[in-house]
Structure formats: C-alpha cells, structure tokens
Structure 1
Amino acid sequence: MQLNPDGKQWTSLAKTESSLCYLLTVRVIRARNIHQADVLSHTDCYVSLWLPTASNDKFQTKAISNCKDPVWNETFYFRIQSQVKNVLELALYDKDVVTQDDHLFTVYFDIAKLSLGEEVFMHFKCDSQRQEELEVGFALDNISGPPETIITNGVLVSRKICCLEVQVVEKKKKKEKKSKKEFSFKVQGSYEGTQDIVLGSNLLFSSSSPAKFHYARYKQPTLDVTLPEKKRSPSSHSRVCDTGSPNVELHSIPSGKNMILAEDKRFDLYMKAEDCPDRLDVRLGFDLCIQEQDFLCKRKNYVIPALRKVLQLEQDLLDHETPVVAVMTTGGGMRSLTALYGSLRGLKKLGVLDCATYLTGLSGTTWTMSNLYRDADWSQKDLDEQISEARKHMTKCKINSFSFEYLKYYKKQLCQRKREGRKTSFIDLWGLVLESFLHDGKDNHRLSDQQRAIDRGQNPLPIYTAVNVKNNYSTLDFKEWVEFTPYEVGLQKYGVFVRTEDFGSEFFMGRLMKKVPESRICFLEGMWSSLFSFNVLYIWNLSHSSEDFWHRWTRDQIDNIEEEPPLPVRPQELRTRLRTPAGPLGSALRAVLTDRACIAQEHSFLRGLQMHSDYLENPRFCRWKDTVLDTFPNQLTPSDEFLSLVDTGFFINTSIMPLLKPERKVDVILHLNYSAGSQIQPLDQTCKYCSEQGIVFPRVDVSEEDRKKLKECYLFDGSETPGAPVLLFFPLVNDTFQKYKAPGQRRSESEMEDGNVDLYGRCSPYSTYSLQYTEKEYDRLVQLAEYNILNNQHLIIRALRTAVARKRQIKE
C-alpha cells in the first residue's frame, strides 16, 4: 500500500525489495571483415558501448584507421542491477573527418544470458555472406557493498535516488570592489542537469541558495564544477578560467555528511548528499486504485435498484449477480458530440443509464462528457437542459472565435502555460478554440473537479482515452493506450498511474520533482481530439490499408544473429539481434512519412523508471504488448522525457480498451458508434486487435447483406468466447426513423421530412469537420440517436438478462 502526498491511500502491487548489483566487464577485442564504407579507403572503425541502465555515458574505443580487421582490446566496466533488464548496445561506426560518422550496425546483447562468475568470449556473426564478425569478452562478478533497495511491480523498477546540495559561501574584504562571480555545476543524468549560481554582494560574507541535484547513485555520476574566471594581473587583457575546477565522483560521497568541495581566498564550496525517501508519487500497480474501488461500491446503490426496475425483477440482485455495464462511444467531431446527447437521453428514458457503471469516450464524445460532468447530478436529470445548452453553442456562428479579442486571449493563455514549464503546440491553441466554440467565456473546469460528480456513485465513472506515440513511427508500429479518469491518469501496459492533479508535472524515478498546475480541461479536450496530429503515413493507410511501402523502404533492418558459443535463452531473455540502419534516402523518407503536423507533449511520469528483468514474461505487460519496440527496453517510454499524446482515432476509433482491463470485470458494453464512413470498420479493427493480443472479446458476425445496409442494433452475446462481455453495437444509421418518429408511432405526411437525416452523403451537414449545425440539423441528429436506443429496448433488456444469468451461473 502506498500513500499519496495528501495522505490518501493508493492500492499497489509494487514491492520494495533488496536486490544485488553485479560488476559487468566488457572487453571489446576485435572485428573481422568489415565491409568498406568509404569509396577510397577501408573503414576507420570504432565501437560505441551504451548501457543506459548502468551509466549516463556512452563509451567508445579508439578508432583504428584504414583497417577491415581492427583490433582494440579495450575494457569497460559497468555496475548493473540484477532485477533490471540490461541490454548492452554495441554499435560499430566508421569515423569520418568531414561528414558525420557512418553507423554500420548495432548488436543488442542481453546481459541476463551471462552466468555469474564466468568469463565468456562471444563471436557475433554480423553478416554471414561477408563473414563480418565482432568479438567481445564478457564477465559478470559479485560486487562489494550492500544490496540496492528497489520498488517494482514486475514490469517497471524504481531505483534509489539521492539529493546533492552544493552551496557557495563568498569571502570578501571590506574594501574589495563589488564583482559578480558565476559558478556552474553539472551532474549528467540528474533531473536538474546543470545549474548556475551568480554571487555578488557588498556584504562581508554572502552565501547562495544551494544548487540541488537529484540523481541515481547506481549510475556513478560525477559533479562537474566550473569556477569563476579570475584575472591574471591588472596589465593583462585576457581572462582565463580557473584551472582548479574540482570534479567529484558522487558514488563515493558518504550520505548525510557536510563536506568541503573547494576552498579559495574568494569563496568556499560545500556539498552534502542524502538518500531520498523510498515513497513514490506514482502508483505502480495493475489493480484499480482505491478511489475507483470505493466508487464501485457506491455505484451499486444506483445500479441494483435500476436493474430491478428495468428487468422487472421481484427483488434486488445480490452483489455477485449484478453485472458491470459500460457505455462506450467513438469519436466523430461535432456529430459524435451531438449524437451522444441523444443516445444518453434515450438510455435515461429507458432507465438503463442508471444501470451503467462506466462511460468512455474519445475525440468529440469527450466534449459531451466533460460538459455533462460539470453537473454533479447530471444523470439524475432528464438531460433536456444540457441538450438545450449544447444546441445554443452548436448553432452559433463560430467566426467570433477568431476575433482579435479572442486571439489576444489565446496568446495570453499559451504564454501562461509556457511560464508553468509546459511544451505548447498547436494542440493547445485548438483546445482554446474548442473552449470558445462550446462555452461562453473562460472555463476553469478541470478533470479532477469531476470527482464531485462521482463521489456518491451518482453517475457512471467517466474514462477518457488517448494514445502515446513516438517520433519516426506510425501508430501501427508504436502506440500505447493512455486512460484518464477524475482520479488518475495512467498506462495500463506498464502499470503506472499518477493522480489526475499531478498529470503534466515533472517526475523522476517515480518522485514528483516539480508540481505544475493542473491543466484546464479545454487543453485535455484539445489533446483527446487532436485532429491535426496526422502524418503522411496516416493518410497513406487510409487510402491503401497497408504499410508495405513503409516497411519496405524506410524501416531499419533487424535480424536475430548467430553467436558463438551459443548461450541458453530462457523465455525472459532476448535473442541477440543486429540492427542495420536504413540508408540516407530511407531515413529521409521515414522522417517525411512519420512527421506529425503537431502533437501534444506532456512531461512523462515514467521518466527514469527502468524495465524489470522479467517484464516480457509479465502477463499484464504481455496483454498490451504490441509495439515494435516492446523488445527494445532502452527505447521504451520510460526513457522519454515527454509523453506524445494524440487522438485515439489515429489508431482505432474506439474507447473500448479501458473496459477490457480484467480488473474492471465489465459484463455488458453498449457500443455507440458515431464514426464517419464505414460504421462497422472500428468494430472490425477492434476484433482483429483483440485477437492478435489475446484479449477476450466476443465474436462479431455481421452478414455481407447487413454490411451493405446496417440495422440499428446488433447483439453479440459472446457465448462462443468464455469470459467475453456481452456487446450491443449501435451504428449511427437512419433506418426505421425515416417512417417512425418514436417506436410504434408512424410519421404523418407532414412529418416525413424530419425523418430524412442525411448522415454520410456528399452533401451531408454532419461531416466530421463541420463545426456548426442549423437548429433543425442539430435537433434531428439528437432525435435520431435517441430513437435508435428506444427502438431497441428489447435487445438491451436481453443483453442485461444474459449477463445476470451468467453471473448467477458463475457463482453456482
């Protein structure tokens, strides 16, 4: 169990352990038959060694000139943590004087293959045709000193960090002329990096506020100090740096003891290092946070009587008989915003809204959700007031949002975010424009404020979704699901979460370093619906439904390679691999294809955390493991300073993934689809994704005839897939609504026009990029979405009864 900074408890599966460290010795011996990279001469080879789990530095051998069989015989040492996935990268370069050094290839070697106390000499077969080979010796030995205390959830590891304080005390003679002295301190790999102190005072003695550095002791960093320049003599015109600048290896400093770093006639330098507490400000765990567990208990007070009424039961369901029902929505701009109001009003009229425990959204439906949850009791009302308010904003002219006064307001807000330490982009501006589209004036609402709307369990728990992406990769190659609730924000793949109030703040190794004010929700809405985060590859995929072109011409070549002697490979260990980078043309093409127009970047709360040695075998990680970098631990999200977040629709237009988290135990999902184009495509994509990931999901069987003309609702009970939720699929179609204004009530001749709702035609007013509707267009879309719910009450009741029967059967 962990405590929040405010004293509230978080459930956590993380464990605090004492774990041994080892000494890794790497001897780079030689290479053979290296192919000629230069036209006029053989290669000038050197090897770069990078083990980021052990050191901040990249080391390299000397360069051997004009030789295809270079011999180095250089030795390097690393202190490694046994519970961390340590993958050594050995990169071979051809040194160039004029141009950038040529990167020939990189060998990835998992240190876990080595046995303690043994020395092995490895021959990595880099190219069998040319018989290229890299020879390296390895030894793994015990190291003196106490074990390291780590905190881990089996996927991520948080390690011990220290805080170094450096203080400058200035000495001055009474008659000495006032002058400024500038000191520069640097700890590479620390959270702070570099800090400067400038002194200058008429006082006899003056001291600075201490410069602080938070760093990982295991990486054995060095404090680099640059002292002020001082004059040689009054006649000299030059100023030189003091050559006595001290550099200190921080791992040798005793904890908690004040030490003199340097003494001078002008000043004294003092330093003190102390261990930071083991308490984390992130939650490492895969279970639901305790606030959500508490909500689930309270929500049953609304769900159980609602189910009794809807299903016409004689008595209340028992706790174990009560299904968890979720309403899931898709994006679609203003179309989805408007249609969701109608769907929710339909569910409210049927009494089903009070049966729902969760409500998830992305893109345009997040705008509806964030509006609704400003009202602490919205689902207990008839929704007419909320629909009327949204109508006012949907039908108003949007040109005023680009007036001079608004532009000044936008600039002021963006400048404020920069002062807070955020990276701003066009996405933030889009969020402010949305605020003006959907509200009157500034909206101070924040996501954490929505806790008021669920504190008694009176409304479904809202979950908003986004995906984390990476530069130089498409969403098909790299994406990670991110979920937002009023309680916390997190990535289920890694089992790491932060309080919603702390999202956007700066973290290091799981500790909160700099608190940044929580964003107003309009900035999150801009990110959740970042329509402008597309790239060329995304457009290519829309038209070709294939990435063959991308894979063939722009991807680095990665192959498993042979090694001698062959080492045993256990399931959690990685095969030795060789990466050959794409050529200059391929790299340039890759940059063009994957560069996104704009992206929302927030400080990563995973920064500094490391992957556990067995993370690839952790069943929770495996459930969401689907990126090309999942077996490259040095390049996963914990190594990034920022999260790069985009609209979930850039992968699949669905917000269903948080509901498939096993811990939420969702039994029934009402899938409300508002996609443009094919209504069935997002569901097909979800089925394919779940099948590939091994996620339990009901079989979706829609006939070809139905695919040409979809009905209003489909029930997929998941009977052939044990453990799958019951799925009710509501495509946004205009079927019987054309002839019926309400279930069982035919339209008169004068009312037929109201049933003519052109959803997806060329002249449709409901395009995803439409920003304004007429009052008739708005009203008709709301009424259509409401009608499609009401007209399929029988299927909703059948789905709920099926779920109750299964819950009872499991208990028996």
Structure 2
Amino acid sequence: MKPLLCSLFSSEVRIGHSLSEAERQHLARRRETILQCLEQNGISCSEVPNIAVLGSGGGLRAMVGLLGSLCQLKEEGLLDCIMYLCGVSGSTWCMASLYKEPDWSTKLDLVKNDIVQRLADGSVSLKEMGQKLAKYYSEKDHFSLTDVWSALIVSNMVNEIDEHKLTEQRGKYTKDPYPIYTVIDKQCKYDRLNADPWFEITPDESGYSLSGAFVDSSFLGSEFENGKNIKKQPEIDMLYLQGNSHQDENKMIKHWIAILRSIEKLVRWTWGTNNNYLYKMKVESADSSVSQSKTREYEDSGLLLNSPYFSVLRKEQDIDLIISLDFSEGDPFKTVVQTAEKCKDLQIPFPEVVLPAKNTEPQDFYVFKGSSDAPTVIHIPLFNAVNCKGKYMSKWVKTYSTFQMNYSREMITNLLEKAGLNIKNNKEKLLKEIGNVTG
C-alpha cells in the first residue's frame, strides 16, 4: 500500500485513516451498552470487544434475512453486543428502514412489524415513481442509471420512496450499532486498483475506506476543487442509497425528459455519477487517477464483493469479531474466500479460510481464526442443511431468488423465521466466540 498521509487539507475534506470524531464518540457511548450486555450473558472482560455484523447483498432476500437475524439477536439478548452494523445492496435496504426510527434496537418488534406491513401490503404508484424520477433529473448535476434504478425499481421492491437524508440520523441512534453503508468506485474497480474501490457512507462521513479520504456526508455529491466545496448540491436521500401536487404541463414535460434521459442512461449503462470531492487534490494514499476526474461513478458493492468486509478492516477500527450473515445467491463461501484473497494482497490481517469438503451441504455456522492481529470471522449462510433440512434447500433458494420484486406476507414471515433460526440454533456458539475475543 502507498504511504499514509494523515493531515487535513481543509475543513471540508479529511485525508487520513483515523476514525471521525463523531464515530469515536458513538463508539465510546456504545461500549457502555456492550459491557452491560456482556455481563448479562455471564461474560466478564477487561476491554470491551469490537464486534461487527455484516449483511451481504441479495435484494429482498437480504433485506428480510438481515431483519430476521437482527430480531433474533435481540431475542437472544445479543444485539447489544454489536458495535458496527454494515451492509451492501439489499442489506442496506433493511438498515435504511431501521435507522429511520431513532434508537430502533430498543423497540425492534414494533419496527419489524412496520417494515413487514409495508413490504407485504404497501405500494408506490407509477405517478409517484415518475415524480421522483423527474425530481432527480431536475435537481442533480449528474443524472444516472442509479437514479432510474432507485426511483423505478428499488421503490417498487421496498414499497416506499424514502426521502429522508442520511445526515438526519446523526445523534438519533445513540443506542444502536454504528451504521456503515458500502458501495464501490466503478472506475477503481475497472482499473483494478486494489485498495481504492471500497467506499463507505455513514451519517457522519463518507469516503474511501482503505485509502483514507473522507468528506462530510452532507457534502457527498457536491462539486469540489482542490479540497474546497465550490458548488453545493442537494444532499442525496435514502432512496438514492437504496410531491403529490397535480401535474401541470411543465411537470409533464419534465417527466418525459427524465424518461428519455433514463433510456439514454440504460443504453450507455452509466451508474452512480457524482461530483468527485477529491478532484485536483493530492492524495498520496490513493492512486493519482482518482483525483484527476471531475466525477466518479459509485455502484453496488455486490458487483465486486457482495459483503462489506472492507468497511470494518481499517486498522483503527480494531475489530475483534466479524459476524458475516451471507444472503448471497450461489456459492455460500464466495464472499469470505474473496475477502481472504484480497486481504492477502493488501497485507491486511485476516484469517485463513479453510472450506468444507466439496459437494457437502453448507452448515449454519463456520468459524475462521487467524493470528492475534486478525479478527475472528463467523460465517453464517442463510439457507443451509440445518434450517432447510437437506433436499429442501434448493426449494428455498428457488423461492427467494435475487431478482424477485415482491414477497407475500407468508414468504416474509417464513424467511424471517429461517434467518432467525441461524441465530437461535447457534446462541451458545456465538457466546463462546464472543467470550474468546474478550480474553
């Protein structure tokens, strides 16, 4: 990796690998909750461990699967042991729904019921989708396929147009794990820059996780030059990470323009174009190409790695235990194997991943351990030989495909239960591994 540069270029862009002040303050408060939770579970410790829950991508399957897992962690008295909650793709849909509600973990049953009600019985009209698409087109410097996807697809899948701003979560989730939403820099991915693709978004700061270049999240998307904000853009809303007035002639024209531009973006396949806050800056810890373009394209992390590992592998986060909830379709070990390989290239401590014998059905609990400076990784595939009883696993996988647009209430209830079983059946194993990292 390139040498670190740990200094401030301006009050608006932060270059460095340390945690933000807001994140440090949140973690300090959270440690008190974690300590109480450990004591209630009979675990004593001299130093509170940093435990991260990771939710993979997988559309509605991931959204509902993460919700079911978190609800069961709450039921088993383990949710308050968690320091970080991180997600990509469908898991971020769940997170966005949770963090709309201040201190959601203290009233999770009510929050869960509201989410299930919306997914099962809610709807977004074509008119509302069109209005949202037109709003994106008229307000933003850079209209892209992400706007189309958000307004027309995601809103239909989650049955909501969520216009809350990410920074509205600041100070309202003091009793919850610290949230990190993960995307990737498309150009960095195609340029095969090992460290630079990983991009994290929190209520406080957003930026390149491993390169160490961050900006206040309220400025994400605004136009920068040499570290200075030269043109403010409206803050992105939660629907983009995931007007009911009647339409006059001008609005109808805007709608048609937006639709035509949407078709153009589909043909050109342009995702997530945003102003680059590192434009014309000298950032020694990142590849020079990152700061040479006025815009960057951010896209779903699942297109590179379908789990947000690199949002919690910064040295400064000092993660002791990762609970990987894998809702991916296909190979249930692909994410953890890819992470191990990438960490080896980047010289980031990570345990060796020893896979089970080929042609064996996945179980519901795997533990990977490495050197003392590497986190322990618990890996839990959603559908497995324990909660799906062997031959029925393929039926469950087929029923909950990634690109299924909607679930019935029965499907949601069944999936919540399946995900919950992976936690319920392994409570003692979870406690054992938590205890091991507190020593």
Tell me the TM-score normalised to structure 1 length: 0.48
Residues 302-335 of structure 1 deviation map (CA, whole Å, 9 limit, x = unaligned): 110001112x14xx644xx211111011100010
Residues 548-589 of structure 1 deviation map (CA, whole Å, 9 limit, x = unaligned): xxxxxxxxxxxxxxxxxxxxxxxxxxxxxxxxxxxxxxxxxx
Counterpart contact for 2:195–2:346, Cα < 8 Å: no
Q: 1:716 aligns with which of 361, 364, 368?
A: 368
Q: SS of the counterpart of 1:610?
A: coil
Counterpart contact for 2:82–2:177, Cα < 8 Å: yes
Q: 1:653 aligns with which of 274, 291, 306?
A: 306
Q: Structure 1: how far apart are the matches of 2:210 and 2:393?
A: 45
Q: SS of the counterpart of 1:299?
A: helix
Matches within 5 A, 1:276-355: 279-310=10-41, 312-313=42-43, 317-318=45-46, 321-355=47-81
Could you tell me how far 1:515 is from its partner in structure 2? 1.5
Could you tell me how far 1:355 is from its partner in structure 2? 0.6
Q: 1:759 aligns with which of 365, 376, 396?
A: 396
Alignment partner, residue 687 of structure 1 = 340
Cα 1:688–1:353 change in 2 (3 A) is: same
Could you tell me how far 1:727 is from its partner in structure 2? 1.1
Cα 1:153–1:666 change in 2 (3 A) is: closer
Alignment partner, residue 416 of structure 1 = 138
Q: 1:606 aligns with which of 254, 278, 285?
A: 278
Alignment partner, residue 262 of structure 2 = none
Once superposed, what is the RMSD of the aligned Cα atoms? 2.7
Could you tell me how far 1:344 is from its partner in structure 2? 0.4
Matches within 5 A, 1:12-51: none
Code of the aligned partner of 2:119: M
Code of the aligned partner of 1:604: N
Counterpart contact for 2:188–2:197, Cα < 8 Å: no
Answering whether residue 429 of structure 2 is matched by residue 698 of structure 1, we say: no
Q: 1:359 aligns with which of 73, 82, 85?
A: 85
Structure having the higher helix fraction is 2
Code of the aligned partner of 2:333: I
Q: SS of the counterpart of 2:367?
A: strand
Report the number of matched residues: 413
Answering whether residue 433 of structure 2 is matched by residue 781 of structure 1, we say: no
Counterpart contact for 1:669–1:728, Cα < 8 Å: yes
Matches within 5 A, 1:159-558: 279-310=10-41, 312-313=42-43, 317-318=45-46, 321-381=47-107, 383-396=108-121, 401=125, 403=126, 405-418=127-140, 422-433=141-152, 434-440=154-160, 442-454=161-173, 456=174, 458-470=175-187, 473=190, 480-525=197-242
Could you tell me how far 1:492 is from its partner in structure 2? 3.1
Structure 1 stretches of 4+ moved >6 Å: none
Q: Structure 2: how far apart are the matches of 1:471 and 1:492?
A: 13
Cα 1:485–1:393 change in 2 (3 A) is: same
Cα 1:597–1:384 change in 2 (3 A) is: same
Residues 124-181 of structure 1 deviation map (CA, whole Å, 9 limit, x = unaligned): xxxxxxxxxxxxxxxxxxxxxxxxxxxx9738995xxxxxxxxxxxxxxxxxxxxxxx
Cα 1:496–1:477 change in 2 (3 A) is: closer
Code of the aligned partner of 2:420: E
Counterpart contact for 2:55–2:91, Cα < 8 Å: yes
Counterpart contact for 1:470–1:479, Cα < 8 Å: no
Q: Structure 1: how far apart are the matches of 2:65 and 2:142?
A: 34
Q: SS of the counterpart of 2:387?
A: helix
Could you tell me how far 1:477 is from its partner in structure 2? 7.8
Q: Structure 2: how far apart are the matches of 1:360 and 1:325?
A: 11
Q: Structure 1: how far apart are the matches of 2:7 and 2:163?
A: 35
Q: SS of the counterpart of 2:181?
A: strand
Code of the aligned partner of 2:57: G
Structure having the higher strand fraction is 1
Q: Structure 2: how far apart are the matches of 1:379 and 1:757?
A: 33
Cα 1:478–1:660 change in 2 (3 A) is: closer
Percent identity between the aligned chains? 28
Code of the aligned partner of 1:670: I
Code of the aligned partner of 2:109: D
Q: Structure 2: how far apart are the matches of 1:788 and 1:489?
A: 32
Residues 530-559 of structure 1 deviation map (CA, whole Å, 9 limit, x = unaligned): xxxxxxxxxxxxxxxxxxxxxxxxxxxxxx
Counterpart contact for 1:734–1:784, Cα < 8 Å: no
Cα 1:436–1:681 change in 2 (3 A) is: closer
Could you tell me how far 1:512 is from its partner in structure 2? 1.3
Counterpart contact for 1:510–1:606, Cα < 8 Å: yes
Q: SS of the counterpart of 2:34?
A: helix
Alignment partner, residue 385 of structure 2 = 735
Q: SS of the counterpart of 1:799?
A: helix
Give structure 2 stretches of 5+ with no counterpart: 243-266
Matches within 5 A, 1:654-673: 654-673=307-326
Counterpart contact for 1:329–1:671, Cα < 8 Å: yes
Alignment partner, residue 256 of structure 2 = none
Code of the aligned partner of 1:391: V
Code of the aligned partner of 1:710: P
Counterpart contact for 2:8–2:14, Cα < 8 Å: no
Higher Rg of the two aligned structures? 1
Could you tell me how far 1:514 is from its partner in structure 2? 1.3
Cα 1:407–1:493 change in 2 (3 A) is: closer
Give structure 1 stretches of 5+ with no counterpart: 1-84, 86-151, 159-278, 526-594, 616-620, 740-754, 806-812
Q: Structure 1: how far apart are the matches of 2:424 and 2:332?
A: 20
Q: Structure 2: how far apart are the matches of 1:459 and 1:709?
A: 35
Could you tell me how far 1:494 is from its partner in structure 2? 3.4
Q: Which is bigger in relative contact order (C-alpha 8 A, separation at least 6)?
A: 2
Code of the aligned partner of 2:325: L
